[in-house]
Structure 1
Amino acid sequence: MKTVNTCGTSHYSPLIPAIKALCEAPSGETLEIIMDNASAFNDLKEYLAEQHIGFREIYDGEQMTVQFTK
Structure 2
Amino acid sequence: MTVDLPLIVVLIALGYVGLKFARVPKWLVVVLLLLGFQTAHTFIAPAVDSGTKTGVEVVNGTTK
Task: Name the structure where strand makes up a greater proportion of residues.
Answer: 1
TM-score by length of 1: 0.32
Q: Using structure 2 for the length normalisation, give the TM-score.
A: 0.34
Higher helix share: 2
Q: Radius of gyration: which is bigger?
A: 2
